[in-house]
Chain A
Amino acid sequence: MINDKNSQKIVDIIQNFARKHSLFVLAYGTGCGAIEIPPTMTSRYDAERFGIRGAATPRQADVLLITGYLTTKTVKRVIRVYEQMQDPKYVIGFGSCTINGGMYWDSYNTIKVLDRYLPVDIYINGCMPRPEAVIEGFIKLQKKIMEGRAEGAKHYKENLEWYRANQKKVLGPTTPHIQEYNW
């Protein structure tokens, strides 16, 4: 029954519905944008209305929220965290630093284009984006999930070599022990 195509579609719809309404967010406080997360989650903006809640570890999280600039040192950890998350998983780039480097465009130790290194599903621009914008971004993501287009993880898996090459370039030759990513 499960292999039946129509049934699979129904199952997919149910699963996507569940995924959409239950987003566990790993807010990786990499940059100054992390300060926007508390108001988003607490009483003023209350993102929990939409089923969005914080997760403490990547194993439990669905969404990796990258809040701002990523130094070369941090990006290594971020990649690891992303790879530790369970499929399906989504990445939200947060603030202009993740889009084009923002004010760190000429910094010697900050990456500038996040989607070369990780499959970003949604970018939220602004420096910093307000909580309203963040929630807007989440709703966009939910829409994408429901439509079945939030396939960043799949994309990452398929283009792993490209991503790896990009990552290696930034992280340097001696960067060790990024786990083999084989699922």
Chain B
Amino acid sequence: MEEKKAQILEKLQKVFPEISETKNDFPYNRVDLRIEKNKIPAILFYLKDEMGYKHLVHITCVDWLEEGKFEVIFIVWSPVDKIKVFVKTFLDRNNPVMDNVDMIWRQANTYERELREMFGIQFEGLVAPKEFILEDWDDMPPMRRDFDTEAYARKRFFARPGREDARDVRQTIAERTGEEIPDFAKKYSR
């Protein structure tokens, strides 16, 4: 398995010297690699047609707010090798634009719609109705980390009296039991 993963990376690097970072030290059948966003369609085509990675598992995104980047991840899988390849790329957070890949896999269309709606990433040439999950949404894309969901909820929905303190449940629990609140939880709790 490990050899196979290494072989795959080797082969890919031969064809795509632009691959900037690779990683295959996961204990599972997983290979990671990072490439420029304009090479994404090429490498996906290559993976699908030449190497048998016929199945697009998912397209997902991570919001690196602090670095000002979106990281879009394409997960593809080969039923022959039984290995997943994570193709990652960075987008500029202020101008998140990249190529549409739904001509390679039809189902990419759905994932791209989701990313467009939830993160505001624009896929060039994506043909799909505007609304997907959200209806009549006029605010910032909600899955961005700088979207203040609580403020939005206050603005839009009624709240039943009795929850005005709006305390985090974890805080209440921590007070009751003397449990330590982790740092990451403190950061966004009021």
Do chains A and B make direct contact within the complex (CB under 8 angstroms)? yes
6 inter-chain pairs at a CB distance below 8 angstroms, sorted by A residue, are A103-B169, A106-B149, A109-B142, A110-B157, A166-B158, A175-B136
* Beta-carbon nearest neighbor of A104 in chain B: B153
What sequence of 0s and 1s flags, for each residue 153-170 of chain B, a beta carbon within 8 Å of any chain A beta carbon? 100111110110010010
* Beta-carbon nearest neighbor of A112 in chain B: B157
Contact between chains at A116 and B158 (CB < 8 Å): yes
A101 to B158, CA, bound (A): 10
Q: How far is the CB of B63 from chain A (nearest CB, A)?
A: 15
Contact between chains at B159 and A105 (CB < 8 Å): yes
Indicate the size class of the contact surface on chain B. Answer: 10 to 19
Contact between chains at B160 and A101 (CB < 8 Å): yes
A37 to B160, CA, bound (A): 26
Q: Does A72 contact B (CB under 8 A)?
A: yes
Contact between chains at A113 and B135 (CB < 8 Å): no
A105 to B156, CA, bound (A): 12
Known: A172-B135, A172-B136, A175-B136. A112 touches B152 (CB 8 A): no
- On A, residues with C-beta under 8 Å from B are 72-73, 99-101, 103, 105-113, 116, 166, 169-175
A101 to B133, CA, bound (A): 20
Known: A100-B163, A101-B163. A106 touches B150 (CB 8 A): yes
Contact between chains at A112 and B158 (CB < 8 Å): yes
- On B, residues with C-beta under 8 Å from A are 133-136, 142, 147, 149-150, 152-153, 156-160, 162-163, 166, 169
Contacts between chains A and B (CB distance < 8 A), count: 57
Contact of B135 among A103, A169, A175 (CB under 8 A): A175
Residues of A with C-beta under 8 A to B147: 108
Residues of A with C-beta under 8 A to B158: 111-113, 116, 166
Q: How far is the CB of A47 from chain B (nearest CB, A)?
A: 28
A13 to B147, CA, bound (A): 55
Contact between chains at A111 and B157 (CB < 8 Å): yes
Q: How far is the CB of A108 from chain B (nearest CB, A)?
A: 4
Q: How far is the CB of A112 from chain B (nearest CB, A)?
A: 5
Residues of B with C-beta under 8 A to A112: 153, 157-160
Contact of A108 among B136, B142, B166 (CB under 8 A): B142
20 A-B pairs besides A107-B149, A171-B135, A172-B136 with CB distance below 8 A are: A73-B133, A73-B135, A101-B159, A101-B160, A105-B166, A106-B149, A106-B166, A108-B152, A108-B153, A108-B156, A110-B157, A111-B157, A112-B157, A112-B160, A113-B158, A113-B159, A169-B156, A172-B135, A174-B136, A175-B135
